Amino acid sequence: MTEQANAELSIQELKLLLVYASKAATAAARYIQSFDRSALQVQDKVGGDSLASQVVTQVDIACEQLIKLHLQPSCEQWQIALLGEESADEYGHAQHPRLTRDYFWCIDPLDGTLPFIEGGAGYAVSIALVSKLGQPLLGVVAHPSSNNLYQGVVCGSEHLLYKNGLPWQPKGIGGSQVHNLFPATEQDHSQPILSCFFDRSFVQQANFKILMSRLEQQVQLLGYSAIDIAHDAGAVMNAIQVLEHPSACYFKLPKTHPGGGSLWDFAATAAITSAADGWVSDIYGAPLDLNRCDSTFMNHRGVLYATDSRIAEMIMAIANRGQL
């Protein structure tokens, strides 16, 4: 294929690239579904400060290779760089092609490796197209356990959002159907519940109980009767679950040491959430920094997903007053 000159991608081109990403994610999801988890070989790797970022399996590696194979023709035609979780160390941070190409694919071949190892359902395949400026343009998430495929495209004011190939309007952003992806205890409340999704490492922190106490006080002021907590998924499915619930949030606070998730943990869901007109930002309300040049970690400014601005503003107000 002949290479195209660098230019802003049109909506038609983004639709074509969405097909590439969707086929790649679906192929990886099928590979995961076919794999016998009793044959898993778990290895350690250099990561952040949580166990989830320090383990890798042969499935992670095989899925990334499979995804790259599917995406390679698009890389040649549109001069797109590739950033994959399992191959990110091939370049130094300052030398990675993502910093010089107009666009790069951001790949998490198996987000939620720990749930996958443990036999849970909170894992997914995640692929995003990100601009050199760090803007998520399209995202695809394949959830092998449910066979759900989430797709989002953001091109200026034009947004496209699909679930399983059909136009989708999430429950909390004007839709009409809620879908619980993981088993949950039925609760009967006369007032709405706020669903809060957290990473396992966050729940295990010493100040988590204090956090929940302060959140409970604030959510009552917004008219919620209770908080429902879930922490059995990776970052990708935590963000997707926000869209699958009528009132929900998922956030990670900034911290001084490396960690807090990586670019590939949030790029695809940032595109999908933006396409849904949901809230996605750092903990200060600014767009996610999805192409930082000094690191691939997101610990410097945190992340925040919410079904609406009232929930997001409540969390930011507490965090920025130093209450979390």
Per-residue model confidence (pLDDT) at position 183: 53
pTM for the model:
0.90
Beta strand 103-111 with 81-84: parallel, antiparallel or unpaired? parallel
Output DSSP code: residue 222.
T
**For residue 187, is it left (φ>0), alpha (ψ between -120 and 50) or beta?**
beta
* 188 labelled ligand-binding: no
- Give the closest residue to 290 by CA, choosing from 45, 73, 103: 103
With beta carbons less than 8 A apart as the criterion, state whether 94 and 204 touch.
no
- Torsion on CA atoms 277, 281, 283, 286, rounded to nearest 10: -120
d(CA 207, CA 209): 6
d(CA 155, CA 137): 7
Q: How does pLDDT run across 228-275, given as a tens digit for each residue?
A: 999 999 999 999 999 999 999 999 988 877 777 999 999 999 999 999
The token duo for 43 is 């290895």
Q: Given pLDDT bands bounded at 50, 70 and 90, which one contains residue 176?
A: very low
Per-residue model confidence (pLDDT) at position 173: 73
Lowest mean pLDDT among 161-165, 191-195, 302-306: 191-195
Q: How does pLDDT run across 178-237, given as a tens digit for each residue?
A: 445 555 444 444 578 999 999 988 888 777 888 888 899 899 999 999 999 999 999 999
Q: Given pLDDT bands bounded at 50, 70 and 90, which one contains residue 136?
A: very high
Per-residue model confidence (pLDDT) at position 48: 47
* 85 labelled ligand-binding: yes
* 186 labelled ligand-binding: no
The token duo for 295 is 């690191």
* 111 labelled ligand-binding: yes
Place of tokens 């002021």: 221
* 90 labelled ligand-binding: no
164: exposed, middle or buried (C-beta count within 10 Å: 0-12, 13-18, 19+)? Answer: exposed
Beta strand 248-252 with 193-197: parallel, antiparallel or unpaired? parallel
Q: Report, at the CATH architecture level, how domain 173-320 is classified.
A: 3-Layer(aba) Sandwich (3.40)
Compute the average pLDDT of residues 98-122.
94
Compute the average pLDDT of residues 113-126.
93
Output DSSP code: residue 102.
S
Residue type, 172: G
- Give the closest residue to 300 by CA, choosing from 280, 282, 316, 314: 282
Instruction: Compute the mean pLDDT over every residue in the chain, rounded to the nearest whole number.
Output: 87
CATH number for the segment(s) 11-167:
3.30.540.10
Q: Report the percent of the chain where pLDDT is more than 90.
A: 66
Per-residue model confidence (pLDDT) at position 103: 98
Place of tokens 């495929």: 149
Break the chain into its structural domains and give their ranges. 11-167, 173-320
d(CA 219, CA 304): 16
With beta carbons less than 8 A apart as the criterion, state whether 309 and 303 touch.
no
- Higher pLDDT: 324 or 230? It is 230
User: CA separation (Å) from 317 to 21, 155, 312?
Assistant: 37, 30, 9
- Higher pLDDT: 103 or 318? It is 103
User: CA separation (Å) from 219 to 122, 208, 212, 254, 285?
Assistant: 26, 16, 10, 22, 19
